[in-house]
Amino acid sequence: KTTARIVQKPYVNQENQAVNFHATIQRQRDVSAKQCLKLTQLSKALSWLLRHAVTQEGIQYQYDGYVFVEDVLRHPTFSNKYTIQDIRQCVETNEKQRFVLKTDQRTGKEMIRAQQRQ
């Protein structure tokens, strides 16, 4: 007897780098492959900005690491590419729970920060 094994090949982008396909997100949320790729790119961009580049990119942050989502969406890396709904979906579906959203009590605006892996 032989046993067949299905191996999911990763999507390869134009730079020929493997990109995680997020199959579990696709199954759980019925998200298209294109949307999965978009969320992966958003997650990487958010990680870069929130973990390494907030100060050098001129984005104001709170003592606890939170920044206003609207400031993130105004940044050239994110403007006209992503929406608040994309960010919410990225936070909700990220398997490693890399980000946290909250509402600022004073302004009522949404804020986001990177979170340490547990």
For the chain, what percent of residues have pLDDT higher than 90? 62
Tell me the C-alpha distance between 31 and 90, whole Å: 12
Side-chain-facing half-sphere of 70: CA atoms under 13 Å = 6
Q: What is the pLDDT of residue 31?
A: 62
Average pLDDT over residues 73-98: 94
- Residues 21-44: pLDDT tens digits? 444 444 445 567 888 899 999 999
Q: Where are the beta strands (DSSP E) in the chain?
A: 11-12, 18-19, 67-68, 99-103, 110-114
CATH tag, 20-114: 1.10.10.970
Facing residues of 11 across strands?
19
What residue segments make up the domains of the chain, in order of their start? 20-114
User: Which pLDDT score is estimated for 68?
Assistant: 97
Task: Compute and round to an integer the Cα radius of gyration of the chain.
Answer: 17
Residue 67 confidence (pLDDT) above 50: yes
CA distances from 69 to 8, 93, 99, 106 (A): 34, 17, 12, 15
- Whether residue 68 contacts residue 110, with contact meaning beta carbons closer than 8 Å, is answered with yes
